[in-house]
């Protein structure tokens, strides 16, 4: 575990971020009291089609609308 004062952390923030990304535990202290820990955010890769085959068929927006629905959209009764 590496511990740095707030002033040292401000001065070396880029290096501390790299250390945290490399798996080192980085602690920032106010005086000699630890107050925060710098940890990387775990990112999972984005997967296209995650819900494919689970949602079923959606409406076909290119098909003509039925006449009664079209009348409602156009303000008819």
Q: What domains appear along the chain, each with residue ranges and CATH number? A: 2-38 (3.40.1620)
Residues 6+ apart with CB under 8 A from 40: 20, 21
User: Tell me, what's the pLDDT at 77?
Assistant: 62
Q: Give the model confidence (pLDDT) of 3-61 as tens digits.
A: 999 999 999 999 999 999 999 999 999 999 999 999 999 888 888 887 878 887 777 88
User: Tell me, what's the pLDDT at 27?
Assistant: 97
Question: Which residues share a beta bridge with 4?
Answer: 28
For 48-69, letters b (16+ CB in 10 Å) and e give eeeeeeeeeeeeeeeeeeeeee
């Amino acid at each position: 575990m590496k511990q740095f004062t707030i002033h040292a952390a401000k001065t070396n923030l880029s290096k501390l971020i790299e250390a945290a990304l490399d798996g080192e535990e980085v602690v920032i202290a106010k005086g000699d009291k630890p107050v925060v820990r710098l940890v990387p955010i775990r990112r999972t890769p984005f997967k296209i089609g995650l819900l494919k085959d689970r949602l079923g068929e959606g409406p076909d927006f290119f098909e003509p609308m039925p006449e009664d629905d079209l009348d409602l959209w156009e303000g008819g009764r």
